[in-house]
Structure 1
């Protein structure tokens, strides 16, 4: 039974990690497959939008006959209840987990698994989470309608404050006063061929650290838009309204302070940009030491340049300051498309810990495009199985730029204005095309 459960968990983890679902991520330590961490990114057009919500799964030996234990981790240290069904103490109330009474047929079955639990939790993160409270269908009074609105407003504020800002500040070691520590001096040794034996139990397990940093750069403008919306709908310093279903130790208390959240968002953005730039200096030392990563990146660079020549691709690739950790891509717009005639320059920043830390890309030439953020960060997805292959990243960026008929996917919303026009009315789309063409023409000026 034990072997069967481990096999089943391993397969489910593998399937989810191969999946290109941009709103779910899972990970575990190699030595401990029964303890799984999961990340749910809050759905678009909900007060949870693009928040980072972490959960811990503990699988017993009777899995899948019995459901795993699931705990919410994103609770501000047990002080914040993010949903009527997600308690401040981490309890997740779902009928399939046996933690909530459900209708007949809603209980756990061996046909369900990790993904179905995550999707069930994600479905709780709705446009109107107040309706998850039992008895909601009987609530039609004016006071309940006001409660629903008040509840949405405080969830939006705390999603930004706790799930996004606090998480990123912790990752970046930003102090309470907003002070950003200087980049750590480059390490003296990058000889990754030497085996080092480390006690894993002493190393913090932060599998979503790099993912959250990169997604923050995708969704930065959406976070600022949420702040603006919050400022318009609430008063600074106004206390949160307690909901009828919130108990004394199972509540969401606080005050609205969107100006402070806005300042902290800008500090995080600045720290992430500085971190990317610091990789160049760190990379030069790694190159001097002929580290495995430096040698690998240099070889990949040469191979991609050669493949561009062989295929006749017009794109150009060079190293900045002969540094294998900073690449410069010159992209030529595809003929017979809206990008035709454009000349766009993008920088690829690589970490000396690549591929554990994935590359960060920024277009330096302004391009009005629904898959490129205002600051030039492209929204693209490289296959998880080939994350160490830089050519795959470059191809994925170009595919995102050139895709003729992309499926509507709000998880790729990185430029709110361009996204809204692209997916709007036919007149909106014409306006989008005009703006795109104008940026293409300006790229050659």
Structure 2
């Protein structure tokens, strides 16, 4: 009989991976479902906004009767305490994890699970984390008010520096100055090497690398906006203020340097754009070799063209330079909507490691839209079960563009200016519609 705890863990992992929650992700090696990595993306309007916080979750054989062990791993090597309840050592203080005394009824129960744990941790990432420290929940003294702001200020800086910038620089093998460093071996790099005596355990397990790269492109303008705002509040080389509850080995010490952070954020964007462009060259080489992936993408392209013709879809799809790794889609604006009359082109860049690396999409035609970043990067979500189907990505981009009554979701904040108008007052919405229509008209004039 199969281990019941393994069945439960596998089911929970599958359910989280199938959801459209844009702020949680989980993964494990196929041979070790008891050791899980989880990623929480910091909530909007908090000092943790759009940061990438990773946790290690170790399930025991008595799960779900007993809670798993959870350790924060985004700690800058054990030197950064990101919250009164998330220590520099990685300890996560929560009553449901048995690491903090809670009220009656707040302890762990078998009805809870991995998702409830992650949501509880995410709730700690509030707009005023100072109040999470016991005894400071209702701190109203002037000194406490100052501390609340100082604490949020340094968390915002370190969220950008450690959870975003350092993480992406490591993924892209960049130095602080933006220079590339030698890449470590990956499974993809070892395809043509002698694999005898080697196994996956020798390769770094980085399940969120692609997700973080794509989300960085989503939130790039938000990161720069946060830097611009913070520069007005703090000065470079200004020291962090130590909080009353921080100790010498469990604190967040350092200095502000938003000038350097801004430079590093811009360098990451350049490196990601260069990486995307490199896919075309690598893709042509795979096509020349008749690699399986190149043949598969060529076949998918032909099927999409045929489907569009059969269904009478007005949109057009072409390959750039006959390269199956770069698709150009010409989208015709939906009649009777604000997009009516528009003619927009966007490119789909496919990785030589697709679908492990998901496509990167960019609109070449400028469009003022709350789901499209200023540089043309669209915010969309393709079905996890069809991530290998390029048409699914095309359809998902178009769905995001055409969605008429989307629910408010700050996790899709990729164009701060358009987002603010779209979700603002009735007058703001009218201005948004006018600016969108203007870009629709310009899309025809630019032909």
Q: Give the TM-score normalised by the residue count of structure 2.
A: 0.96
Seen in structure 2, the aligned counterparts of structure 1 residues 230 and 95 have a Cα distance that, compared at 3 Å, is same
Q: Cα deviation per residue 1:203-223 (whole Å; 9 max; x = unaligned)?
A: 100000000000000000000
- Once the two structures are TM-superposed, the CA of residue 177 in structure 1 deviates from its matched residue by 2.6
The CA deviation at 1:178 is 2.0
Q: Determine the C-alpha separation between the residues in 1 that align with 2:268 and 2:298.
A: 31
1:190 and 1:261 map into 2 onto residues whose CA distance is: 34
Q: Which residue of 2 aligns with 1:73?
A: 73
Q: Does 1:21 align with 2:35?
A: no
Are 1:90 and 2:90 counterparts? yes
In the alignment, which residue of structure 1 is the partner of 2:258? 258
Q: Confirm or deny: 8 A CA contact 1:183 1:275 kept in the other structure.
A: no
In 1, Cα distance between equivalents of 2:331 and 2:183:
31
- 1:306 equivalent in structure 2: 306
> Does residue 361 of the first structure (1) align with residue 388 of the second (2)?
no
In the alignment, does 2:151 pair up with 1:151? yes
Alignment deviations for residues 142-171 of structure 1 (CA, whole Å, 9 cap, x no partner) = 000000000000000000000000000000
For residues 50-93 of structure 1, the C-alpha deviation after alignment (integer angstroms, 9 at most, x for no partner) is 00000000000010011000000000000000000000000000
1:389 aligns with 2:389: yes
The CA distance in 1 between the partners of 2:138 and 2:175, in whole Å, is: 46
Match of 1:327 in 2: 327
Q: Which aligned pairs between 1:183-194 and structure 2 lie closer than 5 A?
A: none
Query: Could you tell me how far apart the structure 1 residues matched to 2:381 and 2:183 are?
Result: 28
SS of residue in 1 equivalent to 2:216: helix
Which position in structure 2 is the counterpart of 1:8?
8
TM-score relative to the length of structure 1: 0.96
Which position in structure 1 is the counterpart of 2:269?
269
**What 5-or-longer segments of structure 2 have no aligned partner?**
none
Task: Provide closer, same or farther for how the CA distance between residues 232 and 188 of structure 1 changes in structure 2, counting only shifts above 3 A.
Answer: closer
Distance 2:183 2:10 in 1: 37
2:429 corresponds to: 429
Task: Show the counterpart of 2:407.
Answer: 407
SS of the residue 2:71 aligns to: strand
**Residues 31, 183 of structure 1: alpha-carbon distance in 2 compared, 3 angstrom cutoff:** closer
Q: Shift of residue 181 of structure 1? A: 5.3
Residue number in structure 1 paired with 2:290: 290
SS at 2:260 equivalent: helix
Superimposed CA distance per residue, residues 392-419 of structure 1 (whole angstroms, 9 cap, x where no aligned partner): 1100100000011001100000000000
Structure 1 residue 440 displacement after superposition? 0.5
Partner of 1:169: 169
Q: Provide the rounded CA distance (Å) in 1 between the counterparts of 2:89 and 2:181.
A: 32
Contact 2:173 2:182 in 1 (8 A): no
SS at match of 2:330: strand
1:201 corresponding residue in structure 2: 201
Q: Is the 8 A contact 1:59 1:69 kept in 2?
A: yes
Residue-by-residue CA offset, 1:166-213 (whole Å, 9 max, x unaligned): 0000000001332135999xx999989x99984011010000000000
Residues 1:97 and 1:183: Cα distance change in structure 2 (over 3 Å): closer
Q: Distance in 2 between matches of 1:125 and 1:2?
A: 37
In 2, Cα distance between equivalents of 1:217 and 1:176: 19
Aligned equivalents of 2:183, 2:333: Cα separation in 1: 36
Q: Is the 8 A contact 2:37 2:57 kept in 1?
A: yes
CA distance in 2, matches of 1:136, 1:189: 51
Whether the 8 Å contact between 2:173 and 2:183 is mirrored in structure 1 is no
Unmatched 5+ stretches in structure 1: none
- 2:350 aligned with 1:350, yes or no? yes
Q: Quote the offset at 1:291 in angstroms.
A: 1.2
Does structure 1 residue 113 correspond to structure 2 residue 108? no
| 8 Å contact kept, 2:176–2:264 | no
Q: Secondary structure at the match of 1:167?
A: helix
